[in-house]
Amino acid sequence: MVPAKPLILRPLCALVAVLMLAACSARSPTVAQGAEASAQDAGYMAAPSVEAVRASAGAVVLSGAAPAGGKVRLAAPAGQAMFATADLHGRWAISLPPAAEPRIFGLSVVAGGRSIQAEGYILVTPGGQAALLRAGAAAQRINPSPHPGLQAVDFDSGGGMLVSAAVPPGATVILQIDGRQAAEGRANANGYYQARLGSPTPIRPGAHAIKVSGDGFADSVVAHVTPAAALAQGPLRSQVTSAGLRVDWMTPGGGVQSTILIH
């Protein structure tokens, strides 16, 4: 990726990435286009999604929506998979076994004779935090926020950055970086706000004070933005930082994106 195009991550070892994340994202663009065309012919069918996460007796339970009667598949990069069947109301739940480290999964469903892949990857921590990781886009937290404020900071080695926050629906949000206003926008109807930074001037490596504020809320954090080392031991690496859990993860294109889940 070049600085002028933040968060369009440069491909590196794309074939390796495909092999490592085959269980998470097995469809090529051609196959995906064919599936979309088939969906148009046979009627629209929504992709599965995770809508809630909770810790229960040492395990973590994910639940969400999928086409009624569909077979939901939650797959790890190494190929292990867990399954559930969506009920008549399109609801499903999967209980994950305990784990000592954060995990990443691909989500899909087989329904109506078709296989439908969900957007991005699902990150789950041992303590019950979860987020949707999306290449070239900001992470979306799945666990509820206790108060309005920052949710995640995403960045890459080219100086691109994305900041996301959960605030009152429709609220105006002012984003500051290192004491200067960097963006201003409005949250959507679900209270989700995202800002893209780093173009045309890339965000330099180092510690950056990030603040969001609006009518009745304010939140800030100091995030250390440093390039990720190569992922030699798999498609995910995690570490706890002063700002929150940082994960470096391999995108479908073979690049590496870093996500900090803010405390």
**What pTM did the predictor assign?**
0.81
The confidence score (pLDDT) of residue 27 equals: 41
| DSSP conformation letters of 15-77 | HHHHHHTTTT----HHHHHHHHHHHHHH---PPPEEEEEEEETTEEEEEEE-STT-EEEEE-T
Look up residue 128 and give its amino acid. Answer: G
- DSSP structure class, residue 118: P
What's the token pair of residue 2?
């070049």
- pLDDT at position 56 is 79
pLDDT of residue 169: 96
Q: What topology is assigned to 141-262 in CATH?
A: Immunoglobulin-like (2.60.40)
Which pLDDT value is given to residue 43?
62
Tens digit of each residue's pLDDT (9 = 90 or more) over 144-158? 888 999 999 999 999
The two structure tokens encoding residue 103: 């995990």
The structural domains of the chain, with segments of one domain joined by +, span 18-132, 141-262
Q: Residue 6 to residues 1, 191, 224: CA-CA distances in angstroms?
A: 7, 25, 18
Q: In the structure encoding, which two tokens stand for residue 198, read together?
A: 């780093």
Do 18-132 and 141-262 show the same overall fold? yes
What is the pLDDT at residue 57? 77
Q: Residue 107 has what pLDDT?
A: 98
For 18-132, CATH gives 2.60.40.10
Give 3-state DSSP helix, strand, coil % of the chain, rounded to 5.
Answer: 10, 45, 45
The Cα angle at residue 129 between residues 202 and 210, in degrees rounded to 5: 30
Segments in the chain below pLDDT 70: 1-43
